[in-house]
Homo-oligomer: A and B are copies of this chain.
């Protein structure tokens, strides 16, 4: 197996093909066929997909091809092949959620974001493996850079499909670290936008920290996907949706960034720590001020408050999952994994007062994060406590991502680093509704670090 190098690794991109679609040198159908070739080669090992609708995708790609030939594509993602995490409904494929409860289930409709994507002309190619109901019990997918390692979860198939170059974009979702962590493990670009920015209707993604996220081969394609969803399907009901222009913010150097360690820093391996320091050194050389817990009391307050962010996230989710999991449990044995049943037994003991106390603690975390806005443009951290762990029995720890899910902030995972011959992602985050701004920062960091860093 070749050693992963973020500077030479090629990811599949779509936005740079559009000029060739418009002048006829290439077509969405030919683009799709190239994706299918990669899938044919890599899927037997990677196993990213639960199901595909190849005929439907070819028909959609042909329609897009016609639209480009006529000079009137529907959007900047018209003809873009995309995979959908199998927590979300699709009218042409079953939605099975990695769970026996939903085996074979067909809702007959598209989830809100899928409906929006099709309006934009995107080619919905297949459903991507998720862990059981988006929690920790793993699916079949393997890391595309080492089949003996996890791809992460719960957006396992989404991250693996991008890492393997099967599609240029894939939908994931995150409650604790289900987009950013697998994206880091699989060398993806990914964004978890501001909470509420993308409509979650039509899927098993309705917890109070659930976000839709995008895995992609480029910041440009991820941003375009977000924008089209927000503008064609809206944000969550009651939320203002994604802010920002159709074109992603131009690469922009941030002025000041908070360096976040998270509770897992002491357990990060030396190679990953050293790799992260190269990013920090690069930022400093470029004149970016780095603020960390060692010298800033507000950062220390936030780091200390978020030491149990993962546990708090899990406890909040457990209360919110008493239904529907309690209803599924009643259907009899085998419907939920042992690990899920154990968690549900914990949830049975929670009271409404317990839940209120947890929501108040989460509000404290949000306030502590908001206090950092006066002193920095955002934060930088590792996407995970090291590269993808060996073995397929666990999807790794989301403890480096849980706090930024709690705060509902926009976060990118960027494939900047390597450790143990595997991808190692870097999180770059901002403040709620500043998705466009942090996208400019992410583009600057990708360009400057990978070419000069």
Residue ranges of A at the interface with B (Cβ–Cβ < 8 Å): 91, 109-110, 112, 115-116, 199, 201-202, 206-208, 230-231, 233-235, 237-238, 240-241, 319-320, 322-324, 326-328, 351-352, 355-356, 359
Contacting residues, chain B, for A326 (C-beta < 8 A) = 115
* CA A326 to CA B232, docked complex, whole Å: 11
Judging by beta carbons under 8 Å apart, are B207 and A320 in contact?
A: no
* CA A415 to CA B249, docked complex, whole Å: 58
Contacting residues, chain B, for A320 (C-beta < 8 A) = 234, 237-238
Q: What's the number of copies of this chain in the assembled complex? A: 2
Judging by beta carbons under 8 Å apart, are A109 and B327 in contact?
A: yes
Judging by beta carbons under 8 Å apart, are A323 and B199 in contact?
A: yes
Judging by beta carbons under 8 Å apart, are A241 and B109 in contact?
A: no
Judging by beta carbons under 8 Å apart, are A237 and B206 in contact?
A: yes
What is the CB-to-nearest-CB distance from A113 to chain B, in angstroms, rounded to a whole number? Answer: 9
Q: Could you name 10 residue pairs across A and B whose Cβ atoms are closer than 8 Å?
A: A91-B327, A109-B327, A199-B323, A207-B237, A231-B351, A233-B322, A234-B355, A238-B320, A240-B352, A240-B356
A323 nearest CB neighbor, chain B only: B112
Contacting residues, chain B, for A231 (C-beta < 8 A) = 351-352
Among the listed B91, B115, B235, B323, which residue makes an inter-chain contact with A233, where contact means beta carbons less than 8 Å apart? B323
Known interface pairs A233-B322, A234-B319, A328-B109; A241-B352 also in contact (CB < 8 Å): yes
What is the CB-to-nearest-CB distance from A331 to chain B, in angstroms, rounded to a whole number? Answer: 8
Known interface pairs A109-B328, A356-B240; A323-B208 also in contact (CB < 8 Å): no
Q: A208-B237, A234-B320 provided; 11 other pairs, C-beta below 8 A?
A: A109-B328, A115-B323, A115-B324, A116-B323, A201-B324, A230-B352, A233-B323, A238-B320, A238-B359, A240-B359, A241-B356
Contacting residues, chain B, for A116 (C-beta < 8 A) = 323
Contacting residues, chain B, for A327 (C-beta < 8 A) = 91, 109-110, 115
Contacting residues, chain B, for A359 (C-beta < 8 A) = 238, 240
What is the CB-to-nearest-CB distance from A236 to chain B, in angstroms, rounded to a whole number? Answer: 8
Contacting residues, chain B, for A351 (C-beta < 8 A) = 231
Judging by beta carbons under 8 Å apart, are B115 and A202 in contact?
A: no
Residue among A233, A237, A240 having the largest count of chain B Cβ atoms under 10 Å: A237
* CA A207 to CA B359, docked complex, whole Å: 22
* CA A328 to CA B107, docked complex, whole Å: 12
The 6 closest A-B pairs by CB, nearest first: A208-B238, A112-B323, A208-B237, A237-B320, A109-B327, A240-B356
What is the CB-to-nearest-CB distance from A118 to chain B, in angstroms, rounded to a whole number? Answer: 10
* CA A206 to CA B234, docked complex, whole Å: 14
A110 nearest CB neighbor, chain B only: B327
What is the CB-to-nearest-CB distance from A341 to chain B, in angstroms, rounded to a whole number? Answer: 17
* CA A322 to CA B116, docked complex, whole Å: 10
* CA A208 to CA B208, docked complex, whole Å: 14
A230 nearest CB neighbor, chain B only: B352
Residue among A201, A231, A235 having the largest count of chain B Cβ atoms under 10 Å: A201
What is the CB-to-nearest-CB distance from A167 to chain B, in angstroms, rounded to a whole number? Answer: 23
Contacting residues, chain B, for A328 (C-beta < 8 A) = 109
What is the CB-to-nearest-CB distance from A321 to chain B, in angstroms, rounded to a whole number? Answer: 9
* CA A174 to CA B264, docked complex, whole Å: 46
Known interface pairs A208-B238, A237-B207; A323-B356 also in contact (CB < 8 Å): no
Judging by beta carbons under 8 Å apart, are B352 and A234 in contact?
A: yes
* CA A233 to CA B207, docked complex, whole Å: 14
Judging by beta carbons under 8 Å apart, are A240 and B202 in contact?
A: no
Contacting residues, chain B, for A324 (C-beta < 8 A) = 109, 112, 115, 201-202
Among the listed B91, B234, B241, which residue makes an inter-chain contact with A322, where contact means beta carbons less than 8 Å apart? B234
* CA A320 to CA B202, docked complex, whole Å: 13
Judging by beta carbons under 8 Å apart, are B352 and A201 in contact?
A: no
* CA A359 to CA B326, docked complex, whole Å: 35
A109 nearest CB neighbor, chain B only: B327
What is the CB-to-nearest-CB distance from A332 to chain B, in angstroms, rounded to a whole number? Answer: 12
* CA A231 to CA B233, docked complex, whole Å: 34
* CA A355 to CA B110, docked complex, whole Å: 22
What is the CB-to-nearest-CB distance from A110 to chain B, in angstroms, rounded to a whole number? Answer: 6
